[in-house]
Structure 1
Amino acid sequence: MREVDEAVRQDQFADFAQRYGKPIVAAVVLGLAAFGGYLFWDHRQEAALETESETLVGALDQLQSGNFGSATERLEPLAAEEGGAATQAALLKAGIAMEQGRNEDAAKIYAEIAADGDVPQLLRDLATVREVSATFDSLEPGEVVTRLKPLAVPGTPYFGSAGELVAMAYLDQGKNQEAGTLFASIAKDEAQPDSLRSRARQMAGVLGVDAVEDVDAVLDGIREPAAAPQAQQ
């Protein structure tokens, strides 16, 4: 089991670095786009909404150009206000902080959003997952499990993200069977991104838990990328 634990630990850190490194801003932006309908839930005047939208678009343009400092400056006034646009700006600020390696600053912002009773529950849950991911290395495994287990349930919006973190916390607790079972559930969930399902499938396999329901489909998925370069020759 020592070899398994070492292999799991290596995969754990590699996956964690990959998942919460540079892709964090893109992930936050995509998440915000998906929940756009929830962000402007307060009844502001149309002119104010238009101004807020322009501010957010300008900040996003700066983000895409890699100008994190300028993006943060554009977001500061909006994040200090109230309402859905302020929540969106705060989420973007936290994403920028994560990208810059300022995990403590990001976690503080996420914690404030998660604790705000005026923010829709869906966004509060998102902030909770992000906060835990930002502080994962400094949290006790039991705290990670306690905070995220209610969200790490198949069929819930954040099953994949929360489930992966809970599974890694199980590994830190030495609960390899629980971790493997959860990784397998993520791998079998067709609603999850392929990259996440692939990671979860590998982790489940290392832990001795079968995560493959359709072997032929998995093999086809492996063969297709390998065959693509040959077809172009």
Structure 2
Amino acid sequence: MALTPQSNEAFLREVDEELRREEAIKLWKRWGIVIVAVIVAALVALAGWLWWQSHRKNVAGEQGIQFNQAMDALGNQQPDKAAPILADLAKNGTEGYAALAKFTQADIALQKQDLKGAAKLFAEVAADTGAAQPLRDLALVRQTLAEYDTLQPQVVIDRLRPLAVKGNPYYGTAGEMTAVAHLRMNRRDLAGRMFGEIARDENVPASIRQRAVQMAGVLGVDAVDQAEEKKAG
């Protein structure tokens, strides 16, 4: 019996579906284990990542408490109590708290006039790419302060060049050290110009501006009059 167009189309569709089923079965027999393994591996990786994120959050919370304990101890004039906490965080802490702990250790060393030890710790924080950039910049400024008397003036200028610019949070301190370095190189023109700019910058702390006004005057730059002219204009 001849097949009608409709029955012929249905027959071909059934054959096509059967062929597809057979092909799928062949593919599954060949790759099924691999596919399952990939899916399982992906699920394990996802579970591991979620656990790690949760673990890091918990650890960060615990380390935050430890850091606050160290700060409280320092505030209560108990450096011996704070020292082991800071040492542990500096060695085993997450990137953020390790950097904060080292920075605090460096500040303590600086207060004790251990300039070499302070500079070393500040340098480690400044070079730590995992730390926040503002903390790294401040560590670089503090490192330079600790090493200032042992550094060549050009080294100071080159090191602080990115920070000794208007608008940078550390412009006052970095600019002042840079200006003194110019003075040590007998570049009175550059030193006077920078002192004058610092004196006229209202975002610079008052104590630094006051020193800058005095130094600018010594170098022949009337920063006070220029500042008044700027306001009047």
TM norm structure 1:
0.69
Corresponding position of 2:61: 50
Corresponding position of 1:59: 70
Task: Name the amino acid aligned to 2:228.
Answer: D
Corresponding position of 2:135: 123
Q: Distance in 1 between matches of 2:202 and 2:87?
A: 38
Matched, 1:164 2:164: no
Q: Distance in 2 between matches of 1:69 and 1:135?
A: 26
Asked if structure 1 preserves the Cα contact closer than 8 Å seen for 2:144 and 2:156, the reply is yes
Corresponding position of 2:96: 84
Percent identity of paired positions between Structure 1 and Structure 2: 42
| Residue 160 (structure 2) aligned to one of 148, 173, 185 | 148
The 5 Å alignment of 1:2-13 reads none
Number of residues of Structure 1 aligned to a counterpart in Structure 2: 174
The 5 Å alignment of 1:64-75 reads 64-75=75-86
Asked if structure 2 preserves the Cα contact closer than 8 Å seen for 1:72 and 1:96, the reply is no
Q: Choose between structure 1 and 2 for higher RCO, CA contacts under 8 A separated by at least 6 residues.
A: 1
Asked if structure 1 preserves the Cα contact closer than 8 Å seen for 2:96 and 2:130, the reply is no
Shift of 1:51: 1.8
Shift of 1:86: 0.9
Asked if structure 1 preserves the Cα contact closer than 8 Å seen for 2:99 and 2:128, the reply is no
Asked if structure 2 preserves the Cα contact closer than 8 Å seen for 1:184 and 1:204, the reply is yes
Give the unaligned 5+ runs of structure 1: 1-42, 218-233
TM norm structure 2:
0.69
Question: What are the Cα deviations for residues 52-101 of structure 1, in whole angstroms up to 9, with x where unaligned?
Answer: 12222222122223333332222000011231011111111111110011
Give the unaligned 5+ runs of structure 2: 1-52
Corresponding position of 1:198: 210
| Residue 99 (structure 1) aligned to one of 100, 103, 111 | 111
